Amino acid sequence: MTTIADPRHVGALRLDGKRALITGATKGIGADIARTFAAAGASLVLSGRDRAELSAAESALTREYGCRVSTATVDLAEPDAPMDLARRATEAFGGLDILVNNAGISHPQPVTEIDPQKFDETIAVNLRAPALLAAAVGRAMVAQGTGGSIITVASAAALSPLPDHYAYCASKAGLVMATKVLARELGRYVRLTNYASGLCMPEIAVLAGLERLDMMLNDSMYGILFRDINMQRTFCDQYFSRRICAFAEIIINTGEDNYITTADADEAAHTVIASQLINETFARLAGMKDELIGFGHSFEIDPAREDTLLREFAMAMMVRELFPKSPIKYMPPTKHKEGDIFFSHAYDVMADLVAITTRQGIQLLGMMTEAMHNPFLMDRYVALKSAAYVYRAARHLGDEIAFKPDGIVARRQREVFDEALALLEEVAKDGMMAAIGKARFGDTARTPEGGKGLDGVVERAPGYFNPFLEILEGKA
What's the chain look like in SS3? Answer: CEEEECCCCCCCCCCCCCEEEEECCCCHHHHHHHHHHHHCCCEEEEEECCHHHHHHHHHHHHHHHCCCEEEEECCCCCCCHHHHHHHHHHHHCCCCCEEEECCCCCCCECHHHCCHHHHHHHHHHHHHHHHHHHHHHHHHHHHHCCCCEEEECCCHHHCCCCCCEHHHHHHHHHHHHHHHHHHHHHCCCCCCCCCCCCCCCHHHHHHHHHCCCCEEECCCCHHHHHCCECHHHHHHHHHHHHHHHHHHCCEEECCHHHHHHHCCCCCCHHHHHHHHHHHHHHHHHCCCCHHHEECEEECCCCCCCCCHHHHHHHHHHHHHHHCCCCCEEEECCCCCCCCCHHHHHHHHHHHHHHHHHHCCEEEEECCCCCCCCCCCHHHHHHHHHHHHHHHHHCCCHHHHCCCCCCCHHHHHHHHHHHHHHHHHHHHHHHCHHHHHHCCCCCCCCCCCCCCECHHHCCCCCCCCCCHHHHHHCCCC
Among the ranges 289-298, 375-384, 416-425, which has the highest mean pLDDT value?
Answer: 416-425
Indicate which residues carry an active-site annotation: 222, 257, 329
The single-letter code of the amino acid at 409 is: V
pLDDT at position 425: 97
106 vs 375, higher pLDDT: 106
Rounded average pLDDT over 13-35: 89
Query: Is pLDDT at 114 greater than 60 in this prediction?
Result: yes
Whole-number pLDDT of residue 476: 58
Summarised one tens digit per residue, pLDDT across range 249-293 is 888 888 888 888 888 899 999 999 999 999 999 999 999 999 999
pLDDT score at 19:
95
pLDDT value at 10 more than 60: no
- What CA–CA distance (Å, rounded) separates 355 from 368? 18
**Percentage of the chain surpassing pLDDT 70?**
94
Q: CA-to-CA distance for 295 and 358, rounded, in angstroms? A: 14
Q: What is the 3-state secondary structure (H, E, C) of 300-319?
A: CCCCCCCCHHHHHHHHHHHH
Instruction: Identify the pLDDT of residue 198.
Output: 46
Say what the pLDDT of residue 271 is: 94
Q: Identify the pLDDT of residue 208.
A: 79
CATH 3.40.50.720 positions along the chain are 2-186
Distance CA 63, CA 85 (A): 25
Is 39 in contact with 7 (CB distance < 8 Å)?
A: yes
Q: Name every residue whose Cβ is closer than 8 Å to that of residue 347 and which is 6 or more positions away in sequence.
A: 303, 333, 336, 337, 366
- pLDDT of 189 strictly over 60: no
This prediction has a pTM of 0.65
Q: Sorting pLDDT into bands at 50, 70 and 90, what band is 210?
A: confident
Query: Quick one: pLDDT at residue 257?
Result: 84
Cβ atoms of 354 and 326 within 8 Å: the answer is no
Q: 13-22, 69-78, 348-357: which range is least confident on average?
A: 13-22
Least confident of 173-187, 189-203, 238-252, 462-476: 189-203
Give yes or no for residue 164 having a pLDDT over 80.
Answer: yes
Return the higher-pLDDT residue of 200 and 102: 102
pLDDT computed for residue 46 by the predictor:
96
CATH topology for 2-186 is: Rossmann fold (3.40.50)
Residues 241 and 261: beta-carbon distance below 8 Å: no
Structural contact between residues 30 and 24, judged by C-beta atoms closer than 8 angstroms: yes
Cβ atoms < 10 Å from Cβ of 159: 11
What would the pLDDT profile of 122-157 be if each residue is shown by its tens digit? Answer: 999 999 999 999 999 988 888 887 778 888 888 767
State the pLDDT at residue 240: 92
The yes-or-no verdict on residue 195 having pLDDT over 50 is: no
Which residues make Cβ contacts (< 8 Å) with residue 314, sequence separation at least 6? 408, 409, 410, 412, 413, 416
Q: According to the model, what pLDDT value does residue 196 have?
A: 42
Beta bridge partners of 73: 48
Instruction: Please tell me the predicted confidence (pLDDT) of residue 339.
Output: 87
Q: How many CB atoms lie within 10 A of CB 189?
A: 22
111 in Cβ contact with 162 (< 8 Å): no
pLDDT at 119 exceeding the cut of 70: yes
Q: Which of 197-206, 250-259, 428-437, 461-470 has the lowest mean pLDDT?
A: 197-206
Q: What is the pLDDT of residue 475?
A: 73
Distance from CA of residue 70 to its chain's centroid? 29
